[in-house]
């Protein structure tokens, strides 16, 4: 079986062996082996391992099937929208976008395939059809491509920031402004392979937010991303002193998380707005809060109401 991958923008100008290693998630030595045995190649032209990948190149890689334990299926994952070209799933917390080293739980891609949903073969091996991702600990809408046409067009729309991605987040503290933009580059933190941070050496990251509700100790905000860096919302709000409720990795107060019954960050991918890849019609897909986030929000509203009642009683006395 072979996988066909249009040259990713971020890898154009890179050595072919480096590009193959990054696309496949393998070592450079393994990538060199695939190139030298003809299992990794550029369609339409001969290319040596040290030659550079060019704009417009299409890479074809032979993938050998390996026997492994069946991946568990996420039965809780629902489909919010589907047609012949795309499928938008409402991803539950605890489901990864795709398989990765060390992950043994369910994935969006694996669950769709095991349910019989046809996915395009375009994309890196094990990541076919995926043009954007959500963290395992983040729930909400995620788009996967079923047709080659959709993969090429939606990949372009996401890379050129034409897709409007709206998240809702409950952040600690009282945001000073009703709306604002955070522009701060994000890169991997030196203290951990899993954490990211605002750093001058990072990649451009832009986050817009609008306040929806205020509770004093927390604020519910609607967030739109211009860029899609790993942990972007979590890192940006932590950097301004307002980490997401339930997110101890980036500084959340564990006592508030416990009071609201949260076991993960309060963050949900609420809406996707894009031009349909085939019809070019503006398409909007929306979600609802999952049970754990809804419960935490209702609890926070009750806590706020109680504090306001006590404040009024105190002022009268």
Q: Say if CB 124 and CB 25 are below 8 A apart.
A: yes
Catalytically annotated residue among 17, 57, 135, 247? 135
- Compute the distance between CA of residue 63 and CA of residue 39 in angstroms, rounded to an integer: 8
Active site annotation includes 135: yes
- Compute the distance between CA of residue 149 and CA of residue 299 in angstroms, rounded to an integer: 45
Place of tokens 């999952």: 290
- Compute the distance between CA of residue 8 and CA of residue 175 in angstroms, rounded to an integer: 38
Which token pair is 82?
């589907």
- Compute the distance between CA of residue 167 and CA of residue 76 in angstroms, rounded to an integer: 20
Beta pairing partners, 310 = none
Pairing of strands 282-286, 179-183: unpaired
The total number of residues shown for the chain amounts to: 317
Q: Say if CB 274 and CB 283 are below 8 A apart.
A: yes
Q: Say if CB 1 and CB 63 are below 8 A apart.
A: yes
Place of tokens 């704009």: 55
- What are the DSSP E strand ranges found in 159-205? 164-172, 179-183, 186-188, 196-198
- Compute the distance between CA of residue 105 and CA of residue 99 in angstroms, rounded to an integer: 8
Q: Among 70, 87, 86, 89, which residue's Cα sits nearest to residue 78?
A: 89
Active site residues: 135
């Amino acid at each position: 079986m072979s996988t066909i991958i249009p040259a990713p923008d971020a890898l154009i100008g890179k050595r072919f062996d480096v590009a193959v290693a990054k696309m496949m998630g393998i070592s450079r030595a393994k990538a060199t082996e695939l190139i030298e045995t003809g299992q990794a190649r550029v369609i339409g032209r001969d290319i040596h391992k040290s030659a550079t990948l060019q704009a417009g190149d299409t890479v074809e890689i032979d993938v050998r099937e390996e026997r492994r334990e069946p991946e568990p299926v996420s039965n809780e994952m629902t489909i919010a929208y589907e047609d012949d070209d795309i499928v938008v799933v409402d991803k539950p917390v605890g489901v990864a976008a795709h398989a990765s080293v060390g992950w043994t739980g369910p994935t969006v891609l694996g669950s769709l395939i095991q349910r019989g949903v046809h996915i395009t073969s375009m994309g890196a091996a094990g990541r076919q059809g995926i043009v954007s991702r959500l963290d395992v600990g983040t729930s909400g809408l995620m788009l996967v491509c079923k047709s080659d046409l959709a993969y090429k067009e939606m990949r372009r729309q996401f890379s050129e920031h034409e897709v409007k991605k709206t998240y809702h987040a409950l952040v600690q503290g009282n945001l000073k402004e009703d709306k604002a933009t955070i522009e701060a580059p994000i890169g991997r933190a030196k203290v951990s392979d899993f954490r990211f941070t605002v750093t001058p050496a990072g990649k451009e990251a832009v986050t817009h937010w609008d306040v929806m509700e205020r509770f004093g100790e927390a604020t519910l905000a609607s967030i739109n991303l211009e860029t899609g860096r790993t942990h972007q919302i979590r890192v940006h709000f932590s950097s301004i002193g307002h980490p997401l409720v339930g997110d101890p990795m980036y500084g959340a107060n564990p006592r508030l998380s416990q009071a609201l019954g949260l076991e993960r960050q309060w963050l949900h991918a609420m809406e996707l707005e894009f031009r349909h890849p085939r019809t070019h019609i503006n398409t909007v897909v929306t979600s609802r809060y999952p049970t754990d986030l809804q419960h935490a929000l209702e609890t926070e509203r009750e806590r706020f109401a109680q504090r306001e009642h006590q404040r009024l009683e105190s002022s009268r006395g």
